[in-house]
Structure 1
């Protein structure tokens, strides 16, 4: 599990990528291609990059997003750690034994002063989840 401080960024991708995911040329960010990710791609436009893409309606802009991976249950889940609320889970994921999984994130390109804030990645402390 890890935490991404997305702050006031206006665009980002965060999630999990498998060692088998294509990282060169045209990339398809879908679970079938080794990516389980959320994206912020416009003013308040959030989506889970499933197949097909799932638009998400969040009541508040998350500042800190927790990414949790459960190999045994086949889950990749995302939580807003400030409000301790669930954002989205990819369920029924198949992770073959020995498959390496890695944090995936993209801060997106800055547009002048917009989206120039950093995307900070850190491990999650257990107390971040407890009230």
Structure 2
């Protein structure tokens, strides 16, 4: 009645199949070494983040630098990109093309660290800029032009603002980005705060004037 229960099972002749046990063991060994290495790196980055947190600064945004399409909260802690351009004085400090805002306080020595909440955002630029940057018209964001920034485009394309452009492969989308600057060392580093992982660093830079935190949110983000 049930032939499938009465028929002998189909068998496969494996006599000519060999397994390279040496290769399998070597592959497993490499995987284990890589996993151990990754865990050690995570520990080191966590230690590094705890160390640099002592240099945390309280950043307040400067309304005099904000592009007319940006609105700031009264306490200067949040920025929102709006559709309609506001009627604001075109003072020398204000950006009139690149939609961004700077922090009020600049830094010309030592170390400083701040964190930016980017959860749910589809595009953003953040980093630092030197005081003498061009704020009018089209701007090239690069270290040579006084900008040391990281950017997110099209929801999942992360890259440093420099030439040649290099894409960053991140395991997860950062919810909060930490920015650390060591003025004398010429170092700007970006971290995924929640994942306790390093994202990117500009190294070997030379600073000769004040550096200001820079922020640029996308249209529908705060």
Same fold (TM over 0.5): yes
Q: For 1:104 and 1:52, how far apart are their aligned partners in 2?
A: 22
2:190–2:199 CA contact under 8 A, matched in 1 = yes
Q: Which residue of 2 aligns with 1:58?
A: 170
Q: Point out where structure 2 has 5 or more consecutive residues left out of the alignment.
A: 1-112
Q: Are 1:67 and 2:174 counterparts?
A: no
Q: Are 1:76 and 2:184 counterparts?
A: no
Q: Are 1:89 and 2:170 counterparts?
A: no
Deviation at 1:43, TM superposition (A): 2.5
Q: Which residue of 1 aligns with 2:126?
A: 14
Q: Point out where structure 1 has 5 or more consecutive residues left out of the alignment.
A: 111-115, 119-131
Query: CA-to-partner distance for each residue in 1:13-50, whole Å, 9 max, x for gaps?
Result: 00001001111101000000000001101131011011
Deviation at 1:54, TM superposition (A): 1.8
Rg larger in 1 or in 2?
Answer: 2
Deviation at 1:51, TM superposition (A): 1.7
By relative contact order (CA 8 Å, sep 6+), the higher-ranking structure is 1
The structure richer in helix per residue is 2
Q: Are 1:35 and 2:147 counterparts?
A: yes
2:128–2:213 CA contact under 8 A, matched in 1 = yes
Give structure 1 regions of 4+ aligned residues with deviation exceeding 6 angstroms. none
Query: CA-to-partner distance for each residue in 1:79-104, whole Å, 9 max, x for gaps?
Result: 000011000000111002xx110001
2:121–2:155 CA contact under 8 A, matched in 1 = no
Q: Which residue of 1 aligns with 2:8?
A: none
Q: For 1:59 and 1:91, how far apart are their aligned partners in 2?
A: 23
How many residues align structurally?
A: 110
* TM score, norm. by length of structure 1: 0.81
The structure richer in strand per residue is 1
* TM score, norm. by length of structure 2: 0.49
